[in-house]
Structure 1
Amino acid sequence: MKKALLLLLFSIATYAQIDKVEPPFWWSDMNLSDVQIMFYGNNIAQNEVTVSNGIIIKGIQKTENPNYVFVTIDTKNVSPQNIVFTFKNGKKSFTKNYELKQRKENSRFRESYNSSDVMYLLMPDRFANGNPNNDSHPSVTEKNNRDLPGGRHGGDIEGIIKNINYIHELGATAIWSTPLCEDNDERYSYHTYGQSDVYKIDPRYGTNEDYLRMSQELHKKGMKNIMDYVTNHWGWKHWMINDLPTRDWIHQFPEFTNSNYRMTTQFDINASKRDAEHCMDGWFVKSMPDLNQSNPLVLNYLTQNAIWWIEYADLDGFRVDTYSYNDKEGISNWTKAITDEYPHFNIVGEVWMNDQAQMAYWQKDSKIGAIQNFNSYLPSVMDFTLHEAISSTFNEDQATWDKGIIKVYQNFTNDFLYPNIDNILTFIENHDTQRFNHLYPDFKKYQLAMTLLATVRGIPQIYYGSEIGMAGNKDKGDADIRQDFPGGWNGDKNNAFTASGRTDFQKKYFDFTAKLLNWRKNKSVIHSGKTTHYIPENNVYIYFRYDEKETVMVIINNNPEKQTIKTNRFLENIKNYTSGKDILGNASFDLKNDISIEGKSALVLELK
């Protein structure tokens, strides 16, 4: 009798196995009230599914894979509570508890990042090791090896938390960390773009609770937490890839097919269908299976996952990786669903193109997109054309028709193409480009670029370490532009996180950057003021930021020689102002007289 009972219990336990429930919980009072819950377990689709407490099941979807069942429930006007799902097959049954949590007050109307912010981009594995005990973890393959440039180095969420004060002191107001969800690749998992579980923080970074705590610590400082979200692909070690819910969960070809990376095929009226499909459906790299956002199950999964992270981790915004490689209609529906749930939530998409019209196509309410009846609903895009101009202009000492500071001026002449020019992300470098301080190993040129970045329209983003002079050569591999921040590890030769630990070289860069960015914090004229700029002369670019209350005059001298500026050319903007005080050097200038400016230098004048 005892043996028979044990066999029965073993049979029921085996039969009742649920390996995954996603989302793992949800919230009441969500705009997205129809939540589709994925249950995963051996032959789970053989069961009939019911739910307790009068909750309405609006749909049950089974696929060709019997290990999945997708159950949609209606949570509208349902109070926070625990509900019970019952799975029954004949006389056998088992249950699964599911929680609907209390939503944070005013969560739907959370504020997000905007042009008043400065975004600090960091790579957590390379920033600071706050908890050496999690450098390796038994649940993931790649172990810590700081001696390997492309290996795991041990940076983590605790390291970010411990150095929030440093970022705040610098003058940045938001953190964009490259992805933190689990990446179980055997090699090069440190960048975490090949995610293997999108509901779980990588254990080498910490826990989900640690990530929430990071948001809380940032919010105490009035700072914002921006998640790097990946919609286009997962890593090939993602737990679903070896047991796909449907064959078309990912894009598949008879043989491996890379993306052709030609994003112009998304809107080119002359493009072949084959080329357009290979852009959207081809894999970004061989280790990153391409997700099929045209599959409603996939799109819903990604939408709910994104909302889950916003709600759980109390996020302030997204940066979306490889945005324009997604299925165009699918990603626009994903974006609209996020911003319908959170009307003030900002999302910047990586649209790496070298033409302003092509980038503007992807911003919400674009008139260019409207020509094709397309709206991405994407609030913000990244200003790659400005980045491209900055990457060469400061080495071009002699101005010609198309070289020198004129490149920067020409970039801004196309601002009319964007539906919301203040809401684009500006940068001189990021984790995928050449390090600025490698291109320009010259502090004066760093000053020029940072002054420009801090005073033009848009949301400036800086890349960790530039503010202390860090460099790196992408030609040597990505690891060289993603080096460890000095002082983030016990035993480092110096600790650049502290004023006393910085070398004179690092201090020079940091002090300048901090002065500039902290000045910018309270300057609404820079955040949302209008711009008038003047055609550069002698490689000198002059522009004005102004509103009803204030005017700032910026002079960027890209000429290696001292220049004299005739102020009467700028009376249109100088108006009745008589003097200007330079916020960088504190000198004052009489606007009735000529202004002299040293070679390769900048002035930021608050007009009085």
Structure 2
Amino acid sequence: MKRIHILLTSLCLVLGMLAQAQAVKRMEPAFWWVGMQNRNLQILLYDNAIANATITIDNPKIQVKSYERTANPNYVFINVEIASDATPGTFPIQITRGKKQTTINYELKARRSAANAKPAFTGNDAIYLITPDRFANANPGDDNVPGFLEPADRNNIHGRHGGDIQGIANHIDYIKNLGMTTVWMNPMIENNQPEYSYHGYAPTDFYAIDARYGSNEEFKQLVEKLHQNDMKLVKDQIFNHCGSYHWWMQDLPAKDWINSAEKYGRSNFENMIVSDPHQSQLDKDQHYRGYFDTNMPDLNYENHLLATYMIQNSIWWIEYANIDGLRIDTYPYSDKNFLIDWRTQLEAEYPGIFVVAEVWVNDVPYAAFWNSPGFGYNNYQSGIKSITDFPLYYNMLDAFKPDGDVYKVYKALTMDFLYGHAENNVIFFDNHDVSRSFAVLDYNLKKYKLATVFTFTTRGILQWYYGSEFLMQESANHGVIRQDMPGGWEQDSCNVFTLENLTTDQKEILALNTQLLNWRKTSEAVKSGKLIQFKPNSNIYVYFRIADNERIMVILNNSDYDKTLPLNTYNEVIQGFTKATNIITQEAVPLKDSITVKANTPYVFILN
């Protein structure tokens, strides 16, 4: 019955859009809200020769500020100001072409109560990253939808496999019981490309959920279900590019809507150019204006109409679906000034909303440029308080690989002074763009445990990639790294959701991860505690997380030998405590002269 209700709701939305289509082919955004801090609204109308029509709005609460036309006569951008005392309802947009007159009744909705209040993200949050096409297929009937160019083919590692919104909704209990607090999904907006579209990063409609995943309404209901389970949702937002089959690519609103592929080619993919005070114009242009991929046209935010369009799109999705935060794809590739305007307007509507920027650089200074007040040259201030911590990720790989030195992560953390908000960095040991860490660590389970315990207990907000909790281990191309979740399809012989046919090692690491992830949700020290680290000795790393009512001691013996640690080294932190309880084993250990730690073993103690 629920599925029927969703279909009927979607049908009503489609019928409403068809009614509007009698007047124009497209109108974006399709509706808006009263009570916004920014009362200005830009409405895009697209139709044959719409620029030659007479367009009027006669409503005392709606002030038309301008009608902007471009060189393309098929577009008009209406800029209106909504009165502060406007009420929910509709206002007419009248379109006159010769003797023919049509009317669009544009809807202004009421905002939900406390719509601008968004939950905080803290150090004991755990974000579960899902590639939706590869997680679970609850509605096989949606795998192939008329009008969509790429059919489902589970045998094609680069093709669509059929995961959908309902598949995620059906397994929220699994995600919650694992210890996650938040879900982040690779983009679910429409990617109607002829091939390699499953990843979601080549949008063909910024306002529509891809029909092979479900509907806008189903996406909204997924957010509601997460909230009912005291969980949050982070939406993946793409600014840098669109898909080559985006609806506007066949009839661009303006010549400068996208950057020229012939002139700029592919991006040089050098993010550090942005923060280089000696940058050449050539390198800067190729970075900003070059295509991320040949099927991803580069968007030009020097066009103010496009800039407004995309800012409104972010706000529309937050307001419509009540999402809790945004992850911004390829953040350094978009115009810096546009990003500041976007962030300013977003903060005006949703003060303090969580935004994490993907900044893929190897070294701390280049990463810190994006979230450190006063660190950037020319006084650049991004306003971003959370970035993806790639420098720490790469140092983790070096630290915990066979024969690795844990000094690498210690040294990386000593550079936290460069960040504006190191505690908000999103830390990870796997994501959708890199090889599975278990494979990178040469399938060494002990090293993998060390790495995951470090990730669970150091500073920052944890991001976890689906399947890594039970040793997904592929290290080949993206299509294989983003493999199907076992049990997400009815015919699967292995099922992680029921533990059917998992190996002993998979069950062991899943149990450990579940234990620690659920513990950290309740830990004040992980949430907001101070990090105190001691210089590693003999490849053993000791650090503490300290809050008012909790003191955690973490020991990572990254060496191949059992060692005895003299505890007086750590007296400044442990003095006054007589014992420690191992959170992993529940064993109580007296804090006397020394402690013996086994080779390649992590310890997480709560001091008593």
Is the shorter-chain TM-score for this pair beyond 0.5, marking a shared fold? Answer: yes
Contact 2:493 2:501 in 1 (8 A): no
SS at match of 1:339: helix
User: Residues 417-432 of structure 1: matches in 2 within 5 Å?
Assistant: 417-432=418-433
Structure 1 residue identity aligned to 2:80: I
Distance 1:14 1:487, change over 3 A: closer
Q: Take 2:97 and 2:484, find their aligned partners in 1: how far apart are those partners? A: 55
| RMSD across aligned positions (CA) | 1.6
Question: What is the distance in 2 between the residues matched to 1:565 and 1:529?
Answer: 24
Letter in 1 for 2:230: G
| Structure 1 residue 256, shift from structure 2 partner | 5.8
Answer yes or no: is the 8 Å Cα contact 1:112–1:317 preserved in 2: no
Cα deviations across residues 483-533 of structure 1 (Å, max 9, x unaligned)? 101000011002111245644332112101000000000111111111110
Instruction: Provide the residue aligned with 1:198 in structure 2.
Output: 206
Amino acid at match of 1:468: F
Q: Secondary structure at the match of 2:473?
A: coil
Query: SS of the counterpart of 1:152?
Result: coil
CA contact (8 A) 2:154 2:160 kept: yes
Measured after TM superposition, the shift of residue 335 of structure 1 is: 1.9
Match of residue 400 from structure 1 = none
1:75 is matched with 82
Instruction: Determine which of 360, 365, 378 is the counterpart of 1:372.
Output: 378
Q: Secondary structure at the match of 2:106?
A: strand
- Whether contact under 8 Å (1:181, 1:192) holds in the other structure is yes
Distance 1:108 1:14, change over 3 A: closer
Task: Verify the 8 A CA contact 1:113 1:317 in the aligned structure 2.
Answer: no
Residue 186 of structure 2 aligns with an amino acid whose one-letter code is T
- The answer to whether residue 109 in structure 2 is matched with residue 101 in structure 1 is yes
Asked whether 1:281 is paired with 2:289, we answer yes
Task: Return the alpha-carbon distance in structure 1 between the equivalents of residues 553 and 22 of structure 2.
Answer: 70
Match among 463, 466, 478 for residue 464 of structure 1:
466
- 2:603 counterpart letter in structure 1: L
Q: Distance in 2 between matches of 1:327 and 1:255?
A: 18
Matched, 1:303 2:311: yes
Segment of structure 1 superposing worse, 388-397 or 403-412: 388-397
Residue 532 in 1 paired to residue 532 in 2? yes
Note if 1:39 corresponds to 2:40. Answer: no
- Give 1:208's aligned amino acid: N
- Sequence identity (%): 39
Q: Please show how residues 251-330 of structure 1 align to structure 2 within 5 Å.
A: 251-255=259-263, 257-330=265-338
What TM-score do you get using the length of structure 2 for normalisation? 0.94
From 160, 163, 174, the equivalent of 2:171 is 163
The answer to whether residue 94 in structure 2 is matched with residue 86 in structure 1 is: yes
| 1:139 partnered with 2:144 | no
What amino acid is the match of 2:415? N
Once residues 99 and 145 of structure 2 are traced to their aligned partners in structure 1, the CA distance between those partners, rounded to angstroms, is 42
Aligned partners of 1:499, 1:170: CA distance in 2, in Å?
13
| Aligned counterpart, 1:49 | 55
TM-score normalised by structure 1 residue count? 0.94
Report the Cα distance in structure 1 between the residues aligned to 2:507 and 2:145, rounded to whole angstroms: 36
Helix, strand or coil: the match of 2:345?
A: helix
Q: State the alpha-carbon separation in 1 of the partners of residues 206 and 220 from structure 2.
A: 15
In structure 2, C-alpha distance between the alignment counterparts of 1:409 and 1:384, rounded to whole Å? 15
- Mapped pair 1:473 → 2:480: no
Q: CA offsets per residue over residues 125-177 of structure 1, 9 Å max, x none? A: 00000111101111210001001111110001110000000000100110110
- Contact 2:264 / 2:289 at 8 angstroms: preserved in 1? no
Match of 1:455 among 454, 457, 460: 457
Whether the 8 Å contact between 2:130 and 2:183 is mirrored in structure 1 is yes
Q: Which amino acid aligns with 1:518?
A: N
CA distance in 2, matches of 1:89, 1:206: 37
CA distance in 2 between counterparts of 1:89 and 1:169 reads 59
Inter-partner Cα distance in structure 1 for 2:59 and 2:406: 67
Moved more, 111-120 or 290-299: 111-120
The structural deviation recorded for 1:90 is: 4.1
Question: Whole-Å Cα distance in 1 between the matches of residues 254 and 187 of structure 2?
Answer: 26
> For residues 380-400 of structure 1, what are the alpha-carbon distances to aligned partners after superposition, in whole Å with 9 as ceiling and x for unaligned?
101101110111222243xxx
Residue 86 of structure 1 deviates from its aligned partner by 0.6
**Contact 2:34–2:110 (CA<8 Å) still a contact in 1?**
yes
- The one-letter amino acid of 1:450's match is T
Match of 2:32 in 1: 26
With over 3 angstroms needed to count, the CA separation of the structure-2 counterparts of 1:286 and 1:592, relative to structure 1, is same
Counterpart for residue 434 of structure 2: 433
Distance in 1 separating the partners of 2:431 and 2:500: 27
Return 73-82 or 134-143, whichever deviates more. Answer: 73-82
Q: 1:538-560 CA deviation, whole Å, 9 max, x = no partner?
A: 10000011022221110011001
Asked if the contact 1:294–1:329 (Cα under 8 Å) also holds between the matched residues in 2, the reply is no
8 Å CA contact retained: 2:133, 2:163? yes
CA distance in 2, matches of 1:148, 1:16: 40
In structure 1, distance between residues paired with 2:601 and 2:21 = 73
Deviations 1:337-356 (A, max 9, x none): 21221102111011001111
1:191 is displaced (CA, Å) by 0.3
Deviates more, 1:83-92 or 1:191-200: 83-92
Pairing 1:228–2:236 present = yes
Q: Is the 8 A contact 1:34 1:76 kept in 2?
A: no
Q: Which runs of 5+ in 1 are unaligned?
A: 1-12, 398-402
Q: Tell me the distance in 2 between the aligned counterparts of 1:300 and 1:135.
A: 34
* Pair 1:242 & 2:250 matched: yes
Q: Can you give the 5+ residue segments of structure 2 that lack an aligned partner in the other structure?
A: 1-18
Pick closer, same or farther for the CA change 1:496–1:14 going to 2, 3 Å.
Answer: closer
Q: 3-state DSSP class of the match of 2:198? A: helix
**Contact 1:113 / 1:316 at 8 angstroms: preserved in 2?**
no
**Aligned equivalent of 2:401, options 388, 392, 395:** 395
